[in-house]
Amino acid sequence: MNIAKKWILATVLAGYQQIVAHPEVFRPKLGMKELHFFHARVFRELTQRDIERYHRLFPRPRGAITGEWTPGYMADVWTPSLLKRAAPDVRVLAILRDPIERYRSAATHNLQFPRTGELHRDAYAMGLYHNQLRRLVHVFGRERILVLQFERCRDDSLAELRRTYAFLGIDDGFVPPNAERLVNPAWRAKVELPTDIVDVLRIGYSEDARELARDFPEIDLELWTTLAAR
């Protein structure tokens, strides 16, 4: 079986519609952004049969690229190496947002679950981006990872979309009809966090964010206004 030359992985679902609108990108067979294929593989070995099954999820015309967007793959300790085995020519998109705003979104979602303590701890850990990206670089190499910032995509969506197309090796002059659509608009009001919790989160995220900006200068910490607030 031929292995796809380029796949798509991301931590946030922003921009999916703009990417799949490109004529050189083929929407996955199941029509789903998130496959969560590797999450359960922590419990058993990834076999050749598993890899072949994963490939069958991505049929595409000759010359087209395809892939999936599953939140959590970047945070999983085990997924990058498993993905490298399944698709060694992968191209990775990692899109990061203000970690406190990301935590607020997760907390809003987690309110519907009774085990909020465990879920909130997971939500906090997912905003510690630096080690997650270092793990990706170790597995795939820096040249195979495009780091995008949610706020840049929101404020200058067309420029960031062209940057993404170029990274994927497809025509970056293409302008999709929905290029200026609001990226990942909120569909419900987010929970307001108590001030003391925001202060604790700011302390917890600040060092990680500084290390992130040092190693990945495409991240502009001034755009993460919640993290920078005093």
The pLDDT tens digits of the residues spanning 13-62 come to 447 888 888 999 998 877 678 888 998 887 889 999 999 999 999 988 98
Per-residue pLDDT tens over the stretch 100-144: 999 998 888 777 665 555 677 888 999 999 999 999 999 999 999
Give the residues across from 147 on adjacent strands.
Answer: 94
**Can you tell me the mean pLDDT for 49-78?**
90
* Burial degree of 13 (CB within 10 A; 0-12, 13-18, 19+): middle
Could you give the 3-state DSSP secondary structure of residue 227?
helix
pLDDT, position 29: 73
CB 230 within 8 A of CB 105: no
Residue 194: other Cβ atoms inside 10 A: 8
3-state secondary structure of 14: coil
Q: Which of 155-168 are b and which e, b meaning 16 or more Cβ less than 10 Å from the residue's Cβ? A: eebeebbbbbbebb
Contact 226, 150 (CB under 8 A): no
Mean per-residue pLDDT for 71-100? Answer: 92
For 65, list phi and psi in degrees, rounded to 5: -115, 160
Domains and CATH numbers, the chain: 16-228 (3.40.50.300)
Q: Note whether 49 and 1 are within 8 A (CB).
A: no
The mean-pLDDT minimum among 7-11, 146-150, 196-200, 222-226 falls in: 7-11
Q: How far is residue 136's CA from residue 133's CA, in Å, rounded to a whole number? A: 5
**φ/ψ of residue 148, rounded to 5:** -110, 150
Whole-prediction pTM: 0.85
Q: What one-character DSSP code corresponds to residue 25?
A: B
The answer, yes or no, to whether residue 155 has pLDDT greater than 60, is: yes
Residues 115-149 as b or e (16 or more Cβ within 10 Å = b): eeeebbeebbebbbbbebbebbbebbeeebbbbbb
The larger pLDDT score, comparing residue 88 to residue 229, is at 88
